[in-house]
Structure 1
Amino acid sequence: MAHEMSGEELRRYREQRGMNQQALVGWLNERLNRRYDRAKISRWETGAERIPQIVAGALKTATEPVGIPAAAVRAAPVVFCAANQKGGVAKTTTCVNVAWLLAQSGRRVLLIDCDPQANATVHLGVDPHERELAKATLTHALKASRPMKEFMTPVCDGAFDLLPSSISLAAADRELLRQPNGTLILRAKIAQLAGLYDFVVLDCPPHLGELTVSVLNAADQLLIPTQTEMLSMMGIPQLFETIAGVRELVNPRLQILGVLPTMYSPRRLQDETVMKELRELAAAEQLRLFSPVKRAADYSKSVMAGRPGLAYNPNSAGAESFREIADSLLALAGEEMRHGA
C-alpha cells in the first residue's frame, strides 16, 4: 500500500512525540539505512520537497517498541487575526488589546507581528532593530528549523508573548512566492505551538499580499476592523473574495468573527452614514457587527508607554468593544474544548 504524508503532518507527528529534527533523523537513518540530515527534514516539513513513501510508511507503521514514542495529546491554539487591506483602521490596536484581555483571563497568549512596519512590536515596547540584530523576528522564525518558541519575547511584564517583526519581513512577500507552498509556512510553524498557547493573535500588514494570505491560511477566526469612512469600507468586498478563495482551496475552517467599526465619532455625519452601511452589510452577510470603537487619545499615549491601551487605562473608549471580541473568542475556545472532549 502506498503511504502519503504532507509536510504539516510530518511536523505535527514529530512534535506530538516530543522529537526534534535531529532525533527524527537518527531514527530514520538507523531504521532505513539512509543518510538524511536536518536540512532534508526541514525541506520535507515546509513542503519544499515531497516526503518519500518509504519514510511516510516507516513513520505510519512505527510503534513504541521500535523507538518512536506515542503521541501526546496537545490542544491546538485558537488562531485569531485582524485584516483589512486599508491601513489606519486600528488593526494593531485591536490585536494588542484583545491579546491583553485574553491574557488577563488567564489564557496563554502569543501575538505574532506579521507586518513589516512592526507596529505591534513598537506598541509593546520592543525595539525591532534590536530583535533584527538578535535574529529573533518572524522573518528568522519562518526560515529557521529551530522551534518557534525560541523566537518569542515576553511583554507586559510577562502577561503574554510576542513574536516581533522588523523591516526585513518586507522581502517575505517575494520569497514566499518563490517557494513551493510558501504561504503555508506560517501555518506549519504555528502548528508547532500546540499545547504551548491557548490563543495566537496575528496582526496583518495593510494589503492583500502573500503575507496576509499566509495569515488567512493559518487563522481560525478573522475580524475585519474598518474605520467609519467610505475608503475604509471599499476594501471589504475584495477581502471577502480572498477569504472565499482561502476557504475553498486551503483553509475551510476560516470563519469571520465579525466587523469592528473604529475611530467612530457620532457627531460626524459621514460616520453615521458609514455605520448605517455597515449595519446593512453585516445583515446581508450574516455577520456580527461589534460595538464601534470611538476615537480616544489613550491609545496614542499607550504606545509611548509600550503597553496596550487597556493596560494603560482599562476604561478607555472602545474597551467594551474589545471585551466583546475577547469574550467571543473565549466562548469559541470553550466550544472547541467541549467538542474535542
Structure 2
Amino acid sequence: MARTVKTTSTGSGTLVEDRDAGAKAPPVTKHTFHLAVTNLKGGVAKTTTAVNVAWGLVDAGLSCLVVDLDMQANATSDLGFDISEVRENGLNMASVLRGQCEIESILLQYGDTELWVAPSSKALTDAERTLSSEIGGEKRLSQKLSAVQGRFDVIIFDCGPNLNLLTINALSLADYLIIPVQTEYLAAHGTLSLLDTVAQVRDNYNPGLTILPILPTMYTAKNSQEQATLGELNRLVSDLVPIFEPVPRATVFSKASAAGHPALRASARSKAVATYRDYVKLILKHIRAAQAAQAKAG
C-alpha cells in the first residue's frame, strides 16, 4: 500500500501528516536513546535545556525528536511553532495519549533539519488525568512511541514542572536524566526531593536510569547569593550526582526563544551557549560509550 504524506508549512517548521493508516512503518535501523529533562520547580531553564541540547545533538549529526510533555507547550513555541494552531487542529501529544491519532501524524519538523517536535497543548492536563485512572497508565507513553522507535537517534522528553503521571512515564522510559537547577535557594533544596523520586522510579520501573551531571542554570558569578547557593547545591548533592559547570545568565536564550530558534544555532560567541555545547559533548560521550558497548555485546 502506498504511503501518502501531506506537509503543511508552519512557522519555522513543517507539519507532517501521515494520512495512510495502513502503511507499514520503516524497518528499525537505529537504537534510540531517551533523555528526560525535568525539575519539580518551574522557571529553571528546563525547556531551554531540552531545546538546546536537542539542537546540539542534531548539530553533531544525530536525529532528534523532542516530545513536549508540558501543557504550556514551551518547547513547541520555542522552535517557532504556533501553539494555537496545534491546539485547534488536534494534532498534539494529548490526542496521541488519548488514542485519537498516532504519533507519526503530529510530528513537526524544524526547518529542513533532523530536529522534530511532538507538540503539546493545554489539553495534555486532561489527558494526564485520564491516564491516572487507567491500569497501565504509567506505560502509555512507551506504547505510543513504539511506532517511531528506531527512526530517531535520540528522543528528549521535556517534562512539566510537577511530578505527574506523564513525568513518571518519561522517567520510566529514559536512559538518561538531565536536571537543570537554577542557582536559587528553593530550587537547590528541591533537588534532593527530585533525586528521591528518581530513586523510587529506579526501584519500581527503570533500574537503568542514569542521572547526568546536574546543570546549574541562570548563574551570575558576581552575585554573592548565587555563589552561596551553588556552594550549597554542591554540599547537598555532589556526593550523589556530579555538578556541571553553571550556565551563566544571558539574554541570548530569551531572544532565541522569541525568534523561534535554539540559542545554540543563533549564537556562537556566548559563554552560556559554550557551556551548553560542553554539556552536549558530555551527553555524546555517554551515547557513544553505550553504542560501543552494544556493538561489543551484539
Unmatched tracts of structure 1, length 5 or more: 1-19, 25-71
2-side partners of 1:205 and 1:262: how far apart? 17
2-side partners of 1:209 and 1:126: how far apart? 25
Higher normalized contact order (CA 8 Å, seq sep 6+, divided by chain length):
2
Code of the aligned partner of 1:181? G
- Equivalent position of 2:276 in the other structure: 322
CA contact (8 A) 1:172 1:211 kept: no
CA deviations on 1:44-93 (whole Å, 9 max, x unpaired) are: xxxxxxxxxxxxxxxxxxxxxxxxxxxx6643311112111010000000
- Equivalent position of 1:41 in the other structure: none
Of 241, 245, 259, the match for 2:200: 245
Choose 1 or 2 for highest CA Rg: 1
Which stretch shows the higher mean deviation, 227-236 or 330-339?
330-339
Offset at 1:101?
Answer: 0.7
Code of the aligned partner of 1:294? P
Q: Secondary structure at the match of 1:158?
A: coil
What's the RMSD between the two structures over aligned residues?
Answer: 2.1
1:313 aligns with 2:257: no
State TM-score, norm by structure 2: 0.86
Higher strand proportion (structure 1 or 2):
2
Offset at 1:241?
Answer: 1.6
CA contact (8 A) 1:114 1:165 kept: yes
1:219 aligns with 2:165: no
CA contact (8 A) 2:189 2:233 kept: no
2-side partners of 1:317 and 1:136: how far apart? 37
CA contact (8 A) 2:107 2:119 kept: yes
Q: Secondary structure at the match of 1:81?
A: strand
Unmatched tracts of structure 2, length 5 or more: 1-19
Which stretch shows the higher mean deviation, 257-266 or 190-199?
190-199
2-side partners of 1:172 and 1:315: how far apart? 41
Offset at 1:333?
Answer: 1.8
Number of residue pairs aligned between Structure 1 and Structure 2: 275
State TM-score, norm by structure 1: 0.76
Structure 1 pair 316/330, CA: closer, same or farther in 2 (3 Å)?
same
CA contact (8 A) 1:76 1:191 kept: no
- Equivalent position of 2:61 in the other structure: 106
2-side partners of 1:222 and 1:193: how far apart? 20
Offset at 1:324?
Answer: 2.4
Code of the aligned partner of 1:123? D
1-side partners of 2:97 and 2:169: how far apart? 11
Q: Secondary structure at the match of 1:251?
A: coil
Structure 1 pair 313/125, CA: closer, same or farther in 2 (3 Å)?
same
Of 128, 136, 139, the match for 2:83: 128
- Equivalent position of 1:164 in the other structure: 119
2-side partners of 1:174 and 1:310: how far apart? 35
CA contact (8 A) 1:152 1:161 kept: yes
2-side partners of 1:21 and 1:180: how far apart? 26
- Equivalent position of 2:254 in the other structure: 300
Of 214, 239, 243, the match for 1:259: 214
